[in-house]
Amino acid sequence: MFNNDLFSDVKFVVEKADDKSGSKQVIPAHKFVLSISSPVFQAMFYGELAETSDSIELPDCEYDSLLELFRYLYSDEVNLSESNVMGVLYLAKKYMVPSLADECTQYLQDHLDSSNVFSILPSVQKYEDTKLVDRCWTVIDEETSEAVKSDGFWTIERSLLEVVVERDTLTIKEIELFKAVDLWATKECERQGLAADGEVKRKILGEDLIKRIRFPTMKQEDFASVVLDSEILTPKEIVSIVKYLSSVPRSPVGFPETKRCGFACVADTQRCCRFGSLSNSPCRMYFAPFHDVINFSVDKDIVLHGLRLFGSEYNSYSVEMKIMKAPSGKILVSKVGQFASRVLECEIGSYYGFEVMFDRHVTLKKNTTYEMWAKIRGPNSLRGENGASSVKCREVTFTFIKNPHLAVDFNVTDLQKGQFPELLFALK
């Protein structure tokens, strides 16, 4: 009966794949067969507002994808390929066929590599497949150089590009990452019908993204031959970076000065989780001018790479973070940026959150009190509960202390609950 006019009582009209002429193709089907496998088709054909027409046009899918959906509903078999799997996954979600969606995600998992990771990631983020999202990020971190040369990279949204450039765990030379970002901006200019000059490309990329590129870590000859020709930087920025690369005494250069850690260094990073359990529902609220703050000390010298903060399901947060020496308030390291929440794993379970990695690693001395301070703006987030005042992480004991200035101008983070679930560090 599959794709057969025999006893067919409905026809679906869809576009031909890769046909810009607007040509249509027809797939015959049987309402009863579709309805017993999909609650959406059941409602469409036998619900209170049942479709009475015997011809249904679907403008949101192509012939090959719909044909594979029907093949599965008729026979429990599906012929997936690189060209149709995303379309089939979309239809499996739309028509509520979870077993077919699982087949699609397994296919993607088995065929995921640097050549297609940027084509797959945006869709699986949309469908909230956390396992596959995490696998995508692992591929991006491990095979960055190849991934940013793929066709899928040129079509990603600027917001995703910003998240990529922010990552400390990329395995790529900074000059190669800049070339990829510059080419992305050039192609975006073409899509918008704009002249691809330096000023326009900088406007398209945005100041926040430009400031996350680690120009001071480039070789001087690469900076001169590649970055200068792009005309993206201002004359003042160029002078500042040239002075830095020439070892001329200088004021802060305005760009991250440490090389990317790379995926291989993740194994050397240890994590200290200060909570005993995680909340099950969003319960944090962020209002100006409130901040989150807590003090801590360590019994051994460590190098602090960054922190993890709670978020909520695939939301984005604006964060200003500081590590200060207490009680003087001297700022040792700070970070400002926009961060996308994703699923993170810790020893007490998984949670939605994000990593704030500092642009330079800061040494913290034993038996010295430090202050973690964060201004977070965004949707409600999860929070930790049952916090401990003393936590031993490998060879280091962290002691957490209620901030003595905790008052109405701070949020509810304290020893027992709140933000700052994990510290990312290495032994000195």
Domain CATH code at residue 282: 2.60.120.820
Give yes or no for a cis peptide into 327 (omega within 30° of 0).
Answer: yes
- Regarding whether 307 and 413 lie in a shared domain, the answer is yes
Is residue 408 very low, low, confident or very high in pLDDT (cuts 50, 70, 90)? very low
Answer for the pair 221, 228: CB distance below 8 angstroms, yes or no. no
- Regarding whether 124 and 76 lie in a shared domain, the answer is no
pLDDT tens digits along 330-363: 999 888 888 888 888 887 788 888 888 887 778 8
pLDDT tens digits along 261-285: 665 455 567 889 999 988 766 666 6
36: domain range?
10-100
Instruction: Give the Cα separation of 87 and 292 in Å (integer).
Output: 43
Q: Among 73, 100, 127, where does a domain finish?
A: 100
Evaluate if residue 413 carries a pLDDT over 50: yes
Q: Give Cβ neighbours of residue 365 (< 8 Å, ≥ 6 apart).
A: 301
Is residue 259 very low, low, confident or very high in pLDDT (cuts 50, 70, 90)? confident
Give me the number of domains the chain comprises: 3
Report the 10 Å Cβ neighbour count for 226: 16
Please tell me the predicted confidence (pLDDT) of residue 305. Answer: 87
CATH, residue 49: 3.30.710.10
Instruction: Give the Cα separation of 115 and 136 in Å (integer).
Output: 11
Residue 264 falls inside a structural domain: no
Length of the chain: 428
For residue 327, count CB atoms less than 10 angstroms from its CB and return exposed for 0-12, middle for 13-18, buried for 19 or more: exposed
Please tell me the predicted confidence (pLDDT) of residue 407. Answer: 53
- Regarding whether 80 and 21 lie in a shared domain, the answer is yes
- Regarding whether 420 and 289 lie in a shared domain, the answer is yes
Evaluate if residue 409 carries a pLDDT over 60: no
Is residue 119 very low, low, confident or very high in pLDDT (cuts 50, 70, 90)? very high
What average pLDDT does range 74-95 have in this prediction? 94
Q: Helix, strand, coil proportions of the chain in percent (round to 5)?
A: 35, 30, 35
What average pLDDT does range 369-377 have in this prediction? 92
- Regarding whether 312 and 186 lie in a shared domain, the answer is no
Dihedral sign of CA atoms 246, 249, 250, 252 in order:
positive
- Regarding whether 146 and 51 lie in a shared domain, the answer is no
DSSP class of residue 410 equals B
- Regarding whether 125 and 84 lie in a shared domain, the answer is no
Q: Among 36, 67, 100, where does a domain finish?
A: 100
Evaluate if residue 44 carries a pLDDT over 60: yes
Please tell me the predicted confidence (pLDDT) of residue 403. Answer: 80
Dihedral sign of CA atoms 242, 248, 252, 255 in order:
positive
Dihedral sign of CA atoms 311, 317, 323, 328 in order:
negative
What average pLDDT does range 211-220 have in this prediction? 93
Please tell me the predicted confidence (pLDDT) of residue 75. Answer: 95
For residue 48, count CB atoms less than 10 angstroms from its CB and return exposed for 0-12, middle for 13-18, buried for 19 or more: exposed
- Regarding whether 417 and 282 lie in a shared domain, the answer is yes
For residue 251, count CB atoms less than 10 angstroms from its CB and return exposed for 0-12, middle for 13-18, buried for 19 or more: exposed
Percent of the chain clearing pLDDT 90 (strictly above): 54
Q: Give Cβ neighbours of residue 64 (< 8 Å, ≥ 6 apart).
A: 17, 83, 84, 87
Answer for the pair 207, 180: CB distance below 8 angstroms, yes or no. no
Residue 206 falls inside a structural domain: yes
Please tell me the predicted confidence (pLDDT) of residue 281. Answer: 60
Please tell me the predicted confidence (pLDDT) of residue 237. Answer: 94
Instruction: Give the Cα separation of 112 and 106 in Å (integer).
Output: 10
Give yes or no for a cis peptide into 289 (omega within 30° of 0).
Answer: yes
Residue 199 falls inside a structural domain: yes
What are residue 70's phi and psi, to 5 degrees?
-65, -40
Q: Among 69, 100, 131, where does a domain finish?
A: 100
Evaluate if residue 329 carries a pLDDT over 90: no
Q: Give Cβ neighbours of residue 20 (< 8 Å, ≥ 6 apart).
A: none
What average pLDDT does range 27-52 have in this prediction? 92
- Regarding whether 418 and 295 lie in a shared domain, the answer is yes
Pairing of strands 342-346, 349-364: antiparallel
What average pLDDT does range 225-241 have in this prediction? 94
Is residue 208 very low, low, confident or very high in pLDDT (cuts 50, 70, 90)? very high
Element (H, E) at 364: strand 349-364
Please tell me the predicted confidence (pLDDT) of residue 15. Answer: 84
Please tell me the predicted confidence (pLDDT) of residue 314. Answer: 74
- Regarding whether 389 and 417 lie in a shared domain, the answer is yes
- Which pTM value belongs to this model? 0.61
Residue/partner pairs of 218-224 with CB below 8 Å, 24 or more apart: 218/174, 218/175, 218/178, 218/245, 219/175, 220/245, 220/246, 222/175, 223/175
- Regarding whether 147 and 83 lie in a shared domain, the answer is no
Please tell me the predicted confidence (pLDDT) of residue 395. Answer: 86
pLDDT tens digits along 142-152: 889 999 999 99
What average pLDDT does range 149-157 have in this prediction? 95
* 30-40 residues labelled b (16+ CB within 10 A) or e (exposed): bbebbbebbee
- Regarding whether 381 and 408 lie in a shared domain, the answer is yes
Pairing of strands 292-298, 302-310: unpaired
Residue 253 falls inside a structural domain: no
Percent of the chain clearing pLDDT 70 (strictly above): 92
Instruction: Give the Cα separation of 266 and 169 in Å (integer).
Output: 7
Within 13 Å of residue 39, how many CA atoms lie on the same side as its CB?
4
What average pLDDT does range 400-409 have in this prediction? 70
CATH, residue 178: 1.25.40.420
